[in-house]
């Protein structure tokens, strides 16, 4: 089965409501023509979800993502946002396990496995992030590290549930640093992740699951990364905050 190609823009904690509206409008007016197998996903902060949903609703190929959600269904969790709330404003995808959530907010694989279930129960899709720190890459143990993150966060799922899972490989040493994984480093890791899926769930799941690359992806390096057979698209940070750059990455897909 052909895999979906996805370019997702993770705004992180950037853009107020007005700036965000301008950015979405600029992206929509940047003359992007999407092939049928390509999806563009926009992941603004919570306060801009509803605005973004209303701007993209008539644009084929554009989807909405949240950057996080709480693992419990509802209750006394002051300041948190539930999966059901996200669903109610039209969210299609939830990014889970971003390295910034793991590092600054103490999110463990066990909590993430629960968040994955909570999001899937609301019939939204998950973009599950994994990635290794520089010391791990330098020690050469990155594959084992990624394997643990994927097994702990996702491998409790059924084969059927996997149709709603997208994986994003984001080496921490490449996030916001200007250092990108080489095309070959990205391909090697994506192929390894796909082999894990094949061992656990079989070839059909492995071949139909989209695996995105993230970490200083931009118009000048996106085409090389996206040309790799196991790189199905990108999770874009900095370059998703400038409409022309985001459009440039989308055009490379």
Q: Which residues are catalytic?
A: 98, 170
In whole angstroms, the minimum distance from the beta carbon of 174 to ligand 13P comes to 6
Shorter beta-carbon distance to ligand 13P: residue 44 or 214: 214
Nearest Cα to Cα of residue 30 among 204, 250, 253, 252? 250
Contact present, 169 and 193 (Cβ < 8 Å): yes
Locus of tokens 């899937």: 120
Shorter beta-carbon distance to ligand 13P: residue 102 or 206: 102
Helix (H) or strand (E) holding 196: helix 183-201
In whole angstroms, the minimum distance from the beta carbon of 12 to ligand 13P comes to 7
Helix (H) or strand (E) holding 214: strand 211-214
Q: Residues interacting with ligand 13P, by CB under 6 A?
A: 10, 98, 170, 175-176, 214-217, 235-239
Distance CA 74, CA 212 (A): 30
Shorter beta-carbon distance to ligand 13P: residue 180 or 187: 180
Contact present, 48 and 89 (Cβ < 8 Å): no
Shorter beta-carbon distance to ligand 13P: residue 67 or 118: 67
Distance CA 142, CA 176 (A): 19
In whole angstroms, the minimum distance from the beta carbon of 210 to ligand 13P comes to 15
> Apex CA 180: angle with CA 174 and CA 185, to 5°?
100
In whole angstroms, the minimum distance from the beta carbon of 202 to ligand 13P comes to 29
Burial label for 114, CB within 10 Å (0-12, 13-18, 19+), is middle
């Amino acid at each position: 089965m052909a895999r979906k190609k996805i370019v997702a823009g993770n705004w992180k904690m950037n853009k107020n409501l007005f700036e965000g509206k301008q950015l979405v409008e600029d992206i929509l007016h940047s003359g992007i023509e999407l092939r049928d197998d390509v999806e563009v996903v926009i992941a603004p902060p919570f306060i801009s979800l509803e605005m973004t949903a209303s701007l993209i609703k008539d644009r084929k190929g554009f989807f909405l993502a949240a950057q996080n959600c709480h693992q419990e269904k509802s209750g006394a969790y002051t300041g948190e946002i539930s999966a059901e709330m996200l669903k109610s404003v039209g969210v299609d995808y939830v990014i889970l396990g971003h390295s910034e959530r793991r590092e600054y907010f103490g999110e463990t694989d066990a909590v993430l496995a629960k968040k994955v279930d909570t999001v899937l129960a609301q019939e939204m899709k998950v973009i599950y992030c994994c990635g290794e720190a520089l010391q791990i890459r330098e020690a050469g143990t990155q594959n084992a590290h990624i394997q643990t993150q994927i097994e702990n966060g996702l491998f409790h799922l059924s084969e059927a549930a996997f149709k709603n899972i997208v994986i994003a490989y984001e080496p921490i040493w490449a996030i916001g640093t200007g250092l990108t994984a080489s095309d070959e480093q990205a391909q090697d890791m994506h192929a390894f992740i796909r082999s894990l899926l094949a061992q656990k769930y079989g070839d059909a799941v492995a071949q139909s699951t989209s695996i995105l690359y993230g970490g200083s992806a931009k118009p000048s390096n996106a085409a090389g990364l996206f040309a790799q057979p196991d790189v199905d698209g990108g999770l874009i940070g900095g370059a998703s905050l400038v409409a022309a750059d985001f459009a440039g990455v989308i055009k490379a897909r």
